[in-house]
Amino acid sequence: MSDTGLSRQLGLRSLTLAVVTSTIGSGWLFAPFYAARFAGPAALGAWLLGGLLAFALALVFAELGSLLSSSGALAQIPLLSHGRTAGFIGGWCAWVSYLALPSIEVMAVMQYLASSAPWLTADQGAGQVLSGAGLALASLLLVLLAWVNLAGVGWLARWIDGLTSWKLVVPLVVSITLMLTAGHWGNLVPLAQPVGTTLEGMVRAISSGGILFSLLGFRTAMDLAGEARQPQRTVPVAMALGLGLSLLIYLLLQLAFLVAVPPGQLGGGWAALRLSAHGGPLVALALGLGLGWVGRLLLLDAVVSPTATAMAYMGAASRVGWMMGRCGLLPNVLGRINRQAVPSVALVISLVLGIGLLLIGPGWQNVVSLLTATLVIALAMGPVSLAALRRQLPDRTRPYRLPWAVLWCPLAFVLATWAISWCGTTALRGAVLIVLLPAIGFVLLALRGRAAGARQGEEPPHGPLHFRQGLWWFLYLGGLVAITAWPLGLAAELGLLAAWALLVFPLAVHSRLVAVSPWAGVGND
């Protein structure tokens, strides 16, 4: 057991496979198709650009992961460096994103299986939604995943290890088979169009096409750090190995998709490509090539891959909620664990809210932009906290120390700012509402509780509110909404966003606490 009561059973292999299984989920079934529609052959460049962005953030979190060895650390990091208000905003973004991800993965399963079992979905005019039977089956699947998580991290690791091995093999087999069977290499010739149009298509592929959504699974290693052996070493290495392996598989899969599309279907360009029959784009390609066995393999994997990812994210969501409860950012009851050293209350709450999201959730692509924006907002806190913690804990041992952090952290913050804006104005505004409205409620409730405690002569149980240290969040997000509301070209918008990020970054770092928050559970020694 660790000092938090969680059981340290995970080694480097299990953590790496957890990263891979979180990264290769429903994204591999949908993202190559949507990325190709947005960017055509430039989708390969979009994956590289998305990978660069993900690696930039992963390197920041590699040092943070070597500094903190607690599960649910995404909720702990902003609290540690900037106090309760910033801690709530960062933790809330991560928790909400994680809560939604298992439901999205399960909806992807139902969407793929609906080709063979049409009773799983119903036509609602604007698109397909889960039918009553589909909702019941999806809810049952979430309950099953929660049961596996409740059995303990050892059980979870064994399930992840087995399912991830399958998830690594199937995309490779499908990719190689499609390339050898079709091999329309002429599809890789880029269309004659302005450079700005190509760049815009790549940006849309990264955000709305699901590329960044697919590549942000590296953080799972941090979410499970409190249950890892030698976390200061294994967490950074697992993030790097898992992300690198996943990116290589996605690049191979995207290449295979591009050369497998029959040229006759590209008469209207990549944007007009339609492959919705037979349970999804990859299945449609396989059956069109006469590869029935590949189609059946894909339908089977449509259950395995998203289900394994949903299982991992359900565990991650419970640990972020557990950490927030343990640190007083959410009700304390979420900080409880069961006899198997699992945060059971947080897990059950995650399950209930996940089933609730099934009732209102739209299709896969429609929710990707909103989820990506919300999650990247949480990750944008990483560079700020790392720069602050370098000053707050200068003598703390760091098994991994990010080189040139004084330059890398502002750069990563700029890249995160761009990624948030790339998700689109509607997604950005929705994410900001998801972030700021609960944050305002948190502040108001905290002030009310403190006033009531003061009247009774009681000290606040979790220390000061630290509203001033978290005020920069409101300024930063408000500026993003204002900038993206202007009708600017892509280059002008990126330049203005970069300038805004570089203006806010030193202000955010300067807003740090004088010493790390003792309520985050990490001492200053």
Confidence at residue 123, expressed as pLDDT on a 0 to 100 scale:
67
Q: Are 153 and 342 in contact (CB under 8 A)?
A: yes
Average pLDDT over residues 49-53: 92
106 confidence band (pLDDT: 50, 70, 90)? confident
Higher pLDDT, 195 or 30: 30
- pLDDT tier at 105, thresholds 50, 70, 90: confident
Give me the numbers of helices (H) and strands (E) for the chain, helices first please: 20, 2
pLDDT at position 2 is 44
Higher pLDDT, 176 or 156: 176
Asked if 224 and 10 count as a contact pair (C-beta separation under 8 A), the reply is yes
Averaged pLDDT score across all residues of the chain: 83
Rounded to 5 degrees, φ, ψ at 130 are: -70, 135
Range with the largest mean pLDDT of 323-327, 340-344, 376-380: 376-380
Is the model's pLDDT at 519 over the cut of 80? Answer: no
Give phi and psi for 127, each to the nearest 5. Answer: 160, -175
SS3 347: helix
Residues 272 and 4: their CA atoms lie apart, in Å, by: 53
pLDDT of 6 > 60? The answer is no
Q: Is the pLDDT of residue 459 over 60?
A: no
DSSP string, 457-513: TPPPTT----HHHHHHHHHHHHHHHHHHHS---HHHHHHHHHHHHHHHHHHHHHTS-
Q: Render pLDDT for 368-418 as a digit per residue (tens, 0 to 9).
A: 778 888 889 989 999 999 999 999 999 888 777 888 999 999 999 999 999
Instruction: Return the bridge partners of 130, or none.
Output: 121
Residues 6 or more apart whose Cβ sits within 8 Å of residue 279 = 112, 113, 114, 115, 116, 295, 298, 299, 302
Query: What percent of the chain shows pLDDT beyond 70?
Result: 86
What average pLDDT does this structure show over 280-292? Answer: 85
Q: Is the pLDDT of residue 273 over 60?
A: yes
Question: pLDDT value at position 524?
Answer: 44
pLDDT score of 487? 86
Q: What predicted TM-score, i.e. pTM, was given to this entire model?
A: 0.85
The confidence score (pLDDT) of residue 159 equals: 63
Whether the Cβ atoms of residue 67 and residue 393 lie closer than 8 Å to each other: yes
Which tops the pLDDT comparison, 252 or 277? 252
Determine the pLDDT at residue 3: 44
3-class secondary structure per residue, 414-473: HHHHHHHHHCCHHHHHHHHHHHHHHHHHHHHHHHHHHHHHHHCCCCCCCCCCCHHHHHHH
